[in-house]
Amino acid sequence: MARRLPLLVLLALVAAGCGVRSSKPFTAAASVGCFRSHGFKDATTNPDKVGFIAGFSDRGGLKGTAPDGNVLTIAFTQDATTTGQTETAFRNHAPPRLRPHMHDIMSVDRNAVIVWTISPSSDDTAAVNLCLRG
């Protein structure tokens, strides 16, 4: 039993840590530095530069260009329950040539509505997964 106790404690700590990341909303301000350090050119949270929808998001907006040239826009909503309206806004205001591809270029992670100009590469997706912070 004495040998199992440290293992049980370790498992309990790992299990407790797994849910921590999923409870706190992401923000533009907390995320932008990571995007810059991962080679996203012109990464900004300036509301005048991130676009109308992202610029008015509750927790900010972010825009930057991935190293491969794909342009990223993220709108950070209040929480995970409020992304639907932002997704609808992006769909309704997308250029006509992008509308048929919205399922390929738009995704949601917690409270972040993520939109690319073309389907993201695996490197692009990995950078977003790494850099979204709250």
| pTM value > 0.85 | no
Q: What angle do CA 18, 84, 52 make, to 5 degrees?
A: 110
| Residues 96-132 as b or e (16 or more Cβ within 10 Å = b) | eebeeeeeebbeeebbbbbbbbeebeeebeebbeebb
DSSP state of 1: -
The overall average pLDDT reported for the chain is 88
Tell me how far apart the alpha carbons of residues 61 and 46 are, in angstroms, rounded to a whole number: 8
Specify the pLDDT at position 37: 97
What are the sequence ranges of the domains in the chain?
25-131
